[in-house]
Amino acid sequence: MGKVTGFKEYPRSSIPYRDAGERLGDFGEIFSHADTLQLQTQGARCMDCGVPFCQSADGCPVDNLIPEWNDLVYRGEWRAALDRLHATNNFPEFTGRVCPAPCEGACVLGITEPAVIIKNIEQAIVDRGFAEGWITPQLPGQRSSFHVGVVGSGPAGLAAAEELSRTGHRVTVYERADRVGGLLVYGIPNMKLDKGLVERRVALLRQGGVEFVTRTSVGKEVALPQGHMIDIMGELGCETQHIPAQALMERHDALVLAMGASVPRDLPIPGRESLGIHFAMEYLTRSTQSLLEGTQPAISAAGRRVIVIGGGDTGADCIGTALRQGCESIVNFELLAQPPAGRAPNNPWPQWPLILRSDYAHTEAQHRFGGDPRSYNLLSKTFICDDGGQVCGIRTVTVDWDKPTDRAPFSEVAGSEQDWPCDLVFLSMGFTGPEAALAAELGLERDERSNLLAPPPRYQCGTSSVFAAGDCRRGQSLVVWAIHEGRAVAQAVDTYLAGLSQTEVVA
């Protein structure tokens, strides 16, 4: 601990986003440049706690060595800080941008003072590492004879692939989209995570020996809902091939399923079939694809009245994208009540603070339209459409969470019906689990939430050579949890392959 009294002397000073008016004019990253002296001063605020909850189960899922690299930044030892950061996190340039920072919610200093700016420091360390040329491909000393297939190139799949390749196994990653990265590319808009950063890391993995096969869907060809990734790729002229799951099993000694939880939660109320109602991920995928290709988006919010149903990061990303496309207005429906400004008595430290937060997109909406776009305690009852079948409004009712009923944890407030005019609706209510077809084809068990049954620490689907990690196993979650699971499943697969090797030697 370099500065014993740092947390007493220095107030929290986070790295601000670019000015809202400026960043609304482009899809460039929202982050501003971090001043080195400011970062070193903020690193000095770390208390070097005897029990650092920031890297506990309530803090960082990948167990980042946060006090260590905070101190190294304070001392100006950036190269050593990068080594400590990469010791636990394969892709800190991703988490430093998109993670909600549960580590800061669990920061011990946060009990009485604002927490250390852990996320800002993490991003600054890895960005400096790339700028200085310190980050290079990781090659194993020798290669094993084993081949591992990874289905899905999101953060879980990429982390598993890198760890297995470093161990010495031959790894092939299969991705059905035209670009590697999964939700890092098409699920998170460019202003939060520049796609050049994803391509840069993927290039390092390629140089490290990982093989990537894109535009390839694993499993038999099945009927898919409108707006599915494969349909979007087809519209853009990207032909997708299908590989039977059994063929992949025969090709590889082990198979890691990391295809995410891509089945969106629907809103089956009257009028759902109206035109202009889209799942959030379809909108974000099409918007990012058009940005990368330099074409006009197939779904544009330009000049339209937009309603986003559901909050969270995905809802905020829909808001931010619609604002940049020039929407006429935007409203965000939240079923839940507005969170409190501070921790509630039943939400003590070090739990994640369930408090009111304004994300980048909420601030941008405030700047553009003069008010917070979120409306709370709203239950959507009916989509209203015009004679041409186009959505033109939503009828809602206010709910009271203090008065639950036998059918729901809330009651509807009598006489609170309201019609909201709109031209475009995005459904951002989360995901129900992974697609069922591949699990059925391989005969894999699923849990009560429809996720693949592959309990840790083995992450193995039954007794087969199939393993699962990330959102398809644990359900919709954070990028940092996906990285954790990718690292963990890689270790499990390596142990499994070592067992095969021993069996061969004994035989």
Q: Are residues 403 and 296 in the same domain?
A: yes
**Number of folded domains that form the chain:** 3
CA distance linking residue 238 with residue 420, whole number of Å: 38
How would residue 439 be classed by pLDDT, with cut points 50, 70 and 90?
very high
Q: Are residues 243 and 306 in the same domain?
A: no
Give the end of a domain, one of 380, 404, 427: 427
- Tell me the pLDDT tens digit for each residue of 331-353: 999 999 999 999 999 999 999 99
pLDDT of res. 507: 41
In a domain, 52, yes or no: yes
Counting Cα atoms < 13 Å in the Cβ hemisphere of 489 gives 38
Q: Are residues 153 and 234 in the same domain?
A: yes
Q: Are residues 169 and 187 in the same domain?
A: yes
In a domain, 114, yes or no: yes
How would residue 2 be classed by pLDDT, with cut points 50, 70 and 90?
low
Q: Are residues 288 and 247 in the same domain?
A: no
Say if residue 34's pLDDT is above 90. no
Give the end of a domain, one of 402, 427, 452: 427
How would residue 506 be classed by pLDDT, with cut points 50, 70 and 90?
very low
Q: Is 118 helix (H, G, I), strand (E, B) or coil?
A: helix
pLDDT of res. 502: 63
The amino acid sitting at 73 is V
Cross-strand partners of 466? 255
Say if residue 504's pLDDT is above 80. no
Say if residue 228's pLDDT is above 80. no
Say if residue 20's pLDDT is above 80. yes
Report residue 30: phi and psi, to 5°. -80, -10
Take residue 388 and report the two structure tokens written for it: 């041409």
Q: Are residues 333 and 405 in the same domain?
A: yes
Q: Are residues 308 and 397 in the same domain?
A: yes
Q: Where are the alpha helices (DSSP H) in 294-435?
A: 312-325, 360-369
- Tell me the pLDDT tens digit for each residue of 138-170: 999 999 999 999 999 999 999 999 999 999 999
Of 234, 261, 315, 329, residue with least CA distance to 473: 261
What CATH number is attached to the domain comprising 122? Answer: 1.10.1060.10
The amino acid sitting at 503 is T
Of 140, 155, 123, residue with least CA distance to 39: 123
Question: Mean pLDDT across the stretch 292-316?
Answer: 96
Output the CA torsion sign for 444, 448, 451, 457.
negative
How would residue 480 be classed by pLDDT, with cut points 50, 70 and 90?
very high
The amino acid sitting at 273 is E
pLDDT of res. 57: 82
**Separation in Å, CA 350 to CA 11, 53, 58, 104, 119:** 20, 7, 6, 9, 17
Q: Are residues 281 and 401 in the same domain?
A: yes
Q: Are residues 445 and 326 in the same domain?
A: no
In a domain, 252, yes or no: yes
**Domain containing 285: what range?**
266-427
pLDDT of res. 90: 98
Check if the beta carbon of residue 254 is closer than 8 Å to that of residue 496. yes
Question: Mean pLDDT across the stretch 58-86?
Answer: 96
Residue 464 burial (10 A CB sphere; 0-12, 13-18, 19+): middle
Rg (CA), the chain: 24
In a domain, 183, yes or no: yes
- Tell me the pLDDT tens digit for each residue of 351-402: 999 999 999 999 999 999 999 999 999 999 999 999 999 999 999 999 999 9
pLDDT of res. 229: 57
| Range scoring the smallest mean pLDDT among 55-69, 104-118, 225-239, 272-286 | 225-239
In a domain, 1, yes or no: no
Say if residue 85's pLDDT is above 80. yes
How would residue 58 be classed by pLDDT, with cut points 50, 70 and 90?
confident
- Tell me the pLDDT tens digit for each residue of 441-463: 999 999 999 999 999 999 999 99
pLDDT of res. 240: 81
pLDDT of res. 230: 57
Q: Are residues 254 and 106 in the same domain?
A: no
pLDDT of res. 236: 54
Take residue 87 and report the two structure tokens written for it: 């010791």
In a domain, 137, yes or no: no
pLDDT of res. 505: 47
pLDDT of res. 175: 96
pLDDT of res. 501: 75
In a domain, 416, yes or no: yes
What CATH number is attached to the domain comprising 193? Answer: 3.50.50.60
CA distance linking residue 222 with residue 266, whole number of Å: 20
Strand pairing class (418-421; 374-375): unpaired
pLDDT of res. 360: 97
In a domain, 139, yes or no: no
- Tell me the pLDDT tens digit for each residue of 403-416: 999 999 999 999 99
CA 63 to chain CA mean position, Å: 18
Question: Mean pLDDT across the stretch 53-72?
Answer: 94
Say if residue 226's pLDDT is above 90. no
pLDDT of res. 220: 80
pLDDT of res. 235: 60
Say if residue 232's pLDDT is above 70. no
Average pLDDT, the chain: 94
Give the end of a domain, one of 394, 427, 460: 427
Core vs surface per residue 46-69: b (16+ CB within 10 A) or e:
bbbeeebbbbeebbbbbbbbbbbb
Q: Are residues 274 and 414 in the same domain?
A: yes
Say if residue 89's pLDDT is above 80. yes
In eight-state DSSP terms, residue 416 is: -
How would residue 436 be classed by pLDDT, with cut points 50, 70 and 90?
very high
CA distance linking residue 330 with residue 318, whole number of Å: 10
CA distance linking residue 291 with residue 29, whole number of Å: 13
pLDDT of res. 231: 60
Question: Mean pLDDT across the stretch 314-330?
Answer: 98
Q: Are residues 329 and 357 in the same domain?
A: yes
State percent of the chain over pLDDT 90. 91
